[in-house]
Structure formats: structure tokens, C-alpha cells
Structure 1
Amino acid sequence: VPAWWSANGLLSASRNRCRDRAACSRQSAVDLRLAMASGCTTGIPLLLTLGCVLLATAVPGTATEVHCGYPGVPAHCSVTYSKDDLSVGTVATYTCDAGYELLGPGRRMCSANGTWTPPNIPFCVLNVAAGKAPLQSSTMGGGVPQKAVDGSTSAFFQADTCSLTEAERSPWWYVNLLEPYSVQLVRLDWGTTSPEATVVVRVGNNRPDMGANPVCNRFTGPLEEGRPLFLPCATPMPGAFVSVHLQGQGPLSICEVFVYTDQALPVERCPSFRDQPLGSTTTYNGKCYIFYDNQPAPFEASMRFCEARGGTLVDETSPALQGFLSWELYKRHRHDSDSGQYWMGATRDPRDPASWKWLNGREVTISFWNAPGGSRENNCSRFDGTRGWLWSDTNCEHALNFVCQHRPTTCGKPERPANSTIVARNFEVGSVIEYRCAPGHLLVGPNIRTCLANGFYSEFAPKCRYLECGPPAPIPNGSLMLTNGTRHYLSSVEYGCREGYVLVGRSILVCDVDQRWNGPPPRCEPVMCRAPTPIAHGLVRLSAASTVFGTVAEYDCEPGFLLSGPGHISCGPSGFWQGDIPVCLRPTTTRPPTTMAPTTTTTATTTSFEPPTPEPTSSKRPPLIPTKFHPDFAPDRTDQRPTFLTTTLAPPRAVPTATTTVLPTMRPRPQPPPQPHQPRRPAFRPVDNDVAGSAGHRTIMSPPDLRGFSDSSPAGAKLNMGGFIALGVFGGFVVLAAVITIVVIVIRRCRRKMKTVKLGPIGPASPSVRSPQLRR
């Protein structure tokens, strides 16, 4: 199915709108929000137009091929495609590895919007209930509980393949999986019909007849004979017991129970040999067990046989493993007249006859002996079928059956999420695989997984989540460009400014994990030049109220001076004035000495220009202070008057003159009386006082008149501000010293008067003083 639009990145009309709402709803892979923007003028660059910032337009009637991404594959599965380019109409077909069953859609198709239909991928699962140990509340007729896990089902009730309980209140049935599994789905094939029933499935590690386990799923409705009922768990539930409970009064009949999980080791991953018996291989807790019951041998020969094939005799135990092996041996020999005997990998310790050790050297700490003690001549051990498959000590020279224990050699195909790829050499034990997501997707979960010795991968499979940021914000007087034409995760947008503006902020933004651009958009500020360089006896007029890019500074001279050089300069895009600075020169007339002849008098005059007020202080041209680029990043405001900088000018260059008599052609202007020279700092002053920003405004800058500042100018006694401050401080100290002196004098006088009043006159009549005569 061809697409109905294409992305050309051009603005093809003055107003871009979808014809109807249905047409707009069909947008998919390309952002068509431009079609909803109005007022975009033809010919205006798209990136510079506010409100019309998106980079694609919809052109109905043109076709662009759409492709789907990687559809994703579950664990233990392969996928094939009808088209290699994954274009619209491509069919993906799923196939599970040997030993696994496909649950879910086996075929998916690439739709016109670039997605796969149906949206969910299937699962490749393993039935772990077949051949395990079941039990039910009661048994009616020949409907024993083992018939529900014998691997055969029926479309209607049959006594030889379906279980059946008595008609009782709340009957139940459960199966012991012998090890915990992560149960994902339970399928029940019913053997009886019920118009209305409630069925509850529980999963856990408690025996259902002794304790309740968590509920996996519940169903209420009619039950049909032979029709399967699928009850998925909300989340994978771990447990070794799966039970089925029928609420209410009636019999419970099940033709087959399927317990599905994708976290189980199939026998297809175990080593296979031509001489091993059919159906002799089983798995438990990530290990393979092969039961050899057709070639009995002594202990040493059995041990070497297993080692030659990459395995060992059973050299470990636990209550769960002992239960699993006992059940497997019971299934194989329950119909035999003489129960079997199998070697196990435990021998008597030669240094301590009372203890036993495994073949791997570890001491036997957990044991399941039939009877303690025994003969000291029996140095080997066996699974004894006559004692319920408990342990017994045995003479090592007897010929018995044996069980070889193997490790899996591979972990199989790992799960590959949609829009991802994996990097791996192989899937053998110890290998490492790496996950990578397609552009625009974020990897959620571990990116590295390792194939473990138990045949399973470490960690869990990651997911690839698609992230997309919104349209980037436009900026005035600037442009933006999507670097790779996309707005998804880790895409970037680059901003730029037009001529005469400088970018303030980050020029490149990246789409971040929160689906936002990682920073605010920058802004474009106008380029500012410094104040134009003033010239002596000249004026500067600006074409604008500020020195922004494009402003023209026009130079002019005062009356009596002529301009030498270009008359104007302009503020360039780099912040420097473009053009040479002119100078103002004063015209002068010179005449050589007159030669007197007896008969003829000849007078020749020459007119030349020389700078005013020559001073023989330096033979070099006065330097002009250059101005470096310094953008002030402030918008052009017409309500402010321009700021003029004061510039110090070096004295004009002295022009060396020859011994020539200069005769002025006009009467000299009267000069003020000579004064001592006092250097002053010239400052620019605006000639006019117009309001800044008014129409036709022209700013005029004028340098100071330097004609009166020569070496012969009188220097008056002037005090600057520093002198006034120094005099004030000195006077303050004098006044403070006088005040302190007066205060000290007054305090001393007061103290003296107080002492005089307290003592009073001293005489013979005073009671407080004894006369010297009385002492005698």
C-alpha cells in the first residue's frame, strides 16, 4: 500500500492546511504539524518564520515508501521475512526452537504506518507439567490424576486419558513440578461440560492440600467438554505447585493440564548419544540426567563411561533433587517385577570408614540412607529400588545401572526486543551478548548478558523505548536546523543567527531522556560597535541612536578646516568600524623670501595645509587609540541617547619648516594675552540636544577646541577636587585638636574646684584635724 504523503522540506504554499480532519489523522512517520499552521508566507525561509518552524510539508498524491523496524523476537525463537527491506506488506513468520511451543500470533504484517500488526509478539514456552507428580481430592472410576499430565488430550471425555473426581464440594487437583518455575500460562482441557462454573488457578511453593498459594488467574463462565481454557498469570509467578480449584458442588474432570514457562531447560539442549535409551534424558535445575538401564556395569566402569561423555555420576544431593530422582526412577520401573538399582557418585572415605565423600571430593553432609551402618566391605553407594529409592551401600564390583549427570552446552537464542540488535559470537556457555537499540530508542535494562553454566542467561532481556522531543522553539533573528532531520532521542538541533547578530547561549541542543531538549534555546543579540574614533576639530554624526550593526558614522570638520580622507565609516557584522578614519586639516598660505633687484621685484606665494598649533614635542604622528570588538549584547533601544566615550588625543605632529618667511594673506585675528600652559583633558560633547529616537535624528559628536591650548597659554592657579578635600581634612584635624584641648582644660579646672570645696579651711578649731600641740 503506497503512502499518501511525502516529506520534501519545502514551503510550497502561502497557507498549508489539511483538506479535512481525516487526512490529518493519517499522519504517521513525519511530523505534519506544519499543515495546521496558518499565515506562512510564500518565499520566506522556513527556519526564519515564527510559528512555522517544522521542517516537512505534506504533499498529497505523492508516494514515499514506508519501512518497519525490527519486529522483535522472543527467546528460543527465529523469525523470517517475506521481504528483506521490511517495507509495507512484509510478513514476519515466527518459529520456535525444538522442544518449545509457540503461543500467540505466528505471523505479523508491516502496516502502512510503520508498525507491526498485531502489536504483540508471540512466546516460545515449554510445558513443565508433563510427567510430573499430580494429586487430586478424590478419584472416581479410572480417572486417576496422572491422566491429566500424561501428554495426551482429547476433544471429549475418555476414561483412559482424563482425570475425574467424585461429585463433591470444591474439588481440587494439583501437580508437583518438582522444582520452582516461573509460571506464565496455564492451559486446561476440560473433560466435562458445566453451564456455569468458577475455576481458580493457584501457583506457589505450598502443597495445596496443606496451605493456600497465590492466585494466578480466575475464570467464571461456562465450561465446554474438550475446549481448552487459557489462564495467563498477570505476572510470571514462581512456584513448584500448580493447583486447580472448582468452586461449588460437582465433579472435576481434566483431560490435560499444560503449565507453560520460557525459563526451563529443554532436553534438546542436552547431549545426545546413539546408544542411549529412548526417553532416557530429563532435566532438572539447569542440568541434564541420562538414565542408562540397558548396560549395567561395575562402579569404576560406570564412572569412566560418564566421564568419557563429558559427564559424571550423580555427585550431589538435596531434598528436592532426591525427590526428583526418586520420581524419575519410579516412573521408569513402576511396572517392573524387580525394581532397578543405580549407581550414585558417593564412596566410603578410606581414612574414615564412618564417613562418605562425593567423587568431586566434597564430604556427604546430607544423606538419604535406607539404614545406617552396613558392611565395611561395601564401599560404594546406590539408589535402591527395593527401599523406595533411598540409598544403600554396595559392593563396588556388582554390575548395576547408572545415571550420568551433564551440563548444558548452550543457552539457546536470547530474547531480542523490537528495534534492537544483538552482538554475539555464539550462544554457548560462557559467551557474552550485547544489546543495542535502533536510533531514537533508549535501552532500558542491562546491555550485557552472559550464558551461565545452567543454560540460562544472566539478568533479564532489556527493552528499547522510543523517545521523541517536541518541535524546537524558534528564535527571533535566527534560524534552526535539525542535524539529522529527526527529533527523536539523541537527535540534535543547531541554532544560528543572521548577519549582524551574535548568538548568546548554546548553539546545539540534544533531545534528552526526558523527551525534552537539554537546555533553553539561545537568543540572537545585535552586534554593537564602540563609539567611533573622534578627530581633532571634527564632528561625528551617527545615523542611528546606537552603534548597532549597519550604523553609519559621518565625519565633518569645523569651519576653517578641510576633511582629508573618507567621510564616513560603518559598523560591520564583526563589531568593528569599517573604513579609515579621516583627519581635519587647516589650510595655510606660505610665501618664500622676497628678492630685491634694482629694476624688478618678484613675489611668489604658496598655499599649503598644516595641522594647527604645531608643537615640537614629537616627530611622530599622534596615535589613535584602536577599538577592539566588544559586542554589548543589548537590543537596539531608541529611547536612550548614545553614550560617548572620552578619548585622549596625542598632540598633533609638528611639521618641520624651513627658513622661509611666511606672509599671511589676511589680517591676523587678535589673540588673547599669553598665559602659562595648563594641559586639559579634552572631552567630546554633543552639539545638539535632540530627543534620541526622533524621526530624522542625527547625533553629532564634536571634539574640544584645542586652539587655545598651546605652550604659551597662561596657566592660572587652580585647585582641583583633591586639593579641596585635602584642605578640608587638614582644617578638620585643627578644629578637632582645639576642641579636645578646651575640653581637657575645663575638666582639670572642675576637678580642682571640687577638691577645694571638700577640704575647706584648716585651723585649730577644725574637728577633723588635730593640732600638733595636742599630740605633745
Structure 2
Amino acid sequence: MFFVCIKAPCLGLTKVCDFGLRTRSASLIIKPRLFPVKSDFTIVEEGRNQQSDSSHFVGNGSLTLVGLADSVMGLTSFLLLSSVALAITAQAQNCPVPEPGPNMNLKGNDILQNTFPDGTTVSFACDVGYQAAGGSPLITCNAGSWSPVRLKCQRKNCGSAGEVSHGQIDYPQDTLFGDTAVIICDQGYQLVGQNRLTCGKDGWEGRLPRCEAVTCRPPPMIEHGNYNPKKEEYYEYRDVVMYSCQNDYTLNGSKSLSCSENGNFMPDPPQCVVVECENPKIENAVRIEGPPPPYRYQYTVTYGCKSGYIMIGKGTLVCGIDGRWTPELPQCQLKSTTPATTTTTTTTTTTTTTTSGKKQTAPVTPDPNGSSHSKTGIDCSGVALCGRSNTYSHLLCLLSLWTLAIQREKTRLSEKC
């Protein structure tokens, strides 16, 4: 509290009044009211006696003491000025709620107060996610005004989140409060744990994940098939297995599967299916190459048209995985006739034996050079010709003409045309 000590009373309204003041808390400023004095104010330092200058008091006025204190209070002392009383009033001025700096607020219970007594010291603290970056957190109420805010607050920096073996950490924004770290594993490794961490008030939130080598469970077995190699527990990344089918079954799908980076064998496993194509039914055509039915996957046969017919399409067919022949079956169309000529030729009838065991005859015209030709219009590749000399010959189809190319003796005497 304030303490006012009168050292010498004023002996009249126009006399010189000497007085002394002492404060036990903070500095005081003495300001005159209603009457002039020699000086505008007198400062009384904390804890010291301050003798006033010989002030001249005129009239019945008062002095106001303004200073820092723990609470608002007033003190009135009466100075005996002859028979007139002079009032000296000591009064402290309060401070409003201080304005905080960026990203900070009052600390403790001070945040609940509306006014602060003169001389009060309060402290600021940085908001959650921010940290002090210099400056004092304290300010003081001085004669109704706060001292400047010196504290600086900046976003907390979490720094590096660490290291991940067989992986890396990416920071899309930064490592400051609220930012996110993303963990990415190397190829062939998979993440165990969360792939994101967030910078919080106490550092990176969450546990750092790890990257483990990718493994695959054994691939599935397939009906009427098998795969190799076999492992009891697991396969490592990029391990490959090969599938195969039992006899009379065809593999439909990928033959090989690989342990992929997502922990599964890729692509999907194949199937073992029975593929059989029907016996081609081509009117006016005969099979000249290929095995007899049944026809399995990728079996190949070749057909030729009978004499007097010409083939539209391709004569070689392949049995596909869908049980159909590719390309589409050809057609044998009747060959257009040509006008007869006056030229006389000698025609020899021969019998051709196809690989299917069927026989057919075709007119053959001798050639001056000793070869025989026949305008049959059929695909004659691979057709054997049985001649009168008990020898086999092969006819070549050149420019729509039969050409007797090669002769050889029959391998067995009992073999007949």
C-alpha cells in the first residue's frame, strides 16, 4: 500500500509546503489538481523517500498519485495548511486484456481475467503446434498501458521422420506442424503399417512403418493339370511357375505365372480343356494332307477341290482353342467350261491316290517333252500319280496344269495303284 509522510506542514495558503512520500510497491507520479505548483509532477521511486521540491500550493486543491500497484486503491492524507485541509489522493490505473501477438495467447489463469491492476505482469505462451522463436514472454501493466510484446512464435518443425529400410519417405509440403510424410516401399517390397505420418505438437504422430519383401502363397492347382516348381510355404517376388496339362487336354491361358509386387501370382491361372474340331465338311473337296479325325488343338489339315472345281478360300485349316477351324472353311465351285477346239490330243486316264486313301481319276495329256499335264483345276500339291509302268509319280500344279515332275518305283511289289 502507499505510505504518505508529511515532514512539514504548510503554514498558510501561500506558504511553501515541504512534504515527503514513500511507496512500498512501485513508482509514483504526483500530479497537481486545482492549483498550480512549481513543477508539473514529482516522481517517487519505489522503496525510497522522495522529498518534494518546495511547491507553492494556492487554493483548496488536491494532488493525485499515479503508480504501479497490485490492486486499485486510493489513499487520502490531509496536509494541514494553516486552518485549511489539502487533500492528497493516491490512485493506480488498471489495464485491459492485453492484445496477444501472432500464434500466442495468455498463459495460465490470466486468460480468464477482464482487467489487470497497475503493475501486473503477465506471460504469453505459443499456441499448440508453435514454438518460441525469441523474445520475452512477459509484459507489464504500466499506468494503464501494457509494455510491448516481444515474444515471437513460429510453426513447430518436426524435422526428419527417420529412415525406412528398402523404402523412402517423401515430404510433399514440409516438416512443419500439420504437414504429412508419405512412406513408399521399393519395388518388390510391401508396406507393413500406415503409409502416412503427421507432424503434431509433440513430433511425428504414429509409428514409423517398415518395408518387407513381397511373398506369394502357392498358386492354385488346376483340374487336369499341374505346375512346377512347388514350394511348401511361399514364393519370393518374381518367382515363376509353369503349368502343364494331362494328355488329351489343352492349356487355355497363360502357361507361366509370376509372383507380383502385390503378393499374388499374375496373370490368372490357365485351364486344361478338351479341344476337338469337327471333321471339316467341304462339298466337292478331298483331304490331301493331315491326319484323320479326331482333330485336337492346333491340328492342321489341307483340302483340295475335286476335278472340275476351283477353290475359293484357303485349303489349309488349323484347329483353334475354341474348337473351330481357322480360317473359315473354303468352298469348291464348279469351274467354268471352255469351248472345244479342233486340236486332237491323246488323253490318258490316271488314278490319283490321296493321303486319305481315296482314289480319283483325272485326264492327263502327254507333253512333247515326255511330261503329262491335266487341266483339273484342283490343288494338286502332294498328289501321287499311279502310272502304267507301275511307278509312282508326283504331280505339281503349275499355272492350273498338272505337271508330272518326279518318278520313283513303288517300294513294295505288292503295292497297287
TM-score w.r.t. length of structure 2:
0.40
Name whichever structure is richer in helix by fraction.
1
Name whichever structure is richer in strand by fraction.
2
Max radius of gyration: which structure? 2
TM-score w.r.t. length of structure 1:
0.24
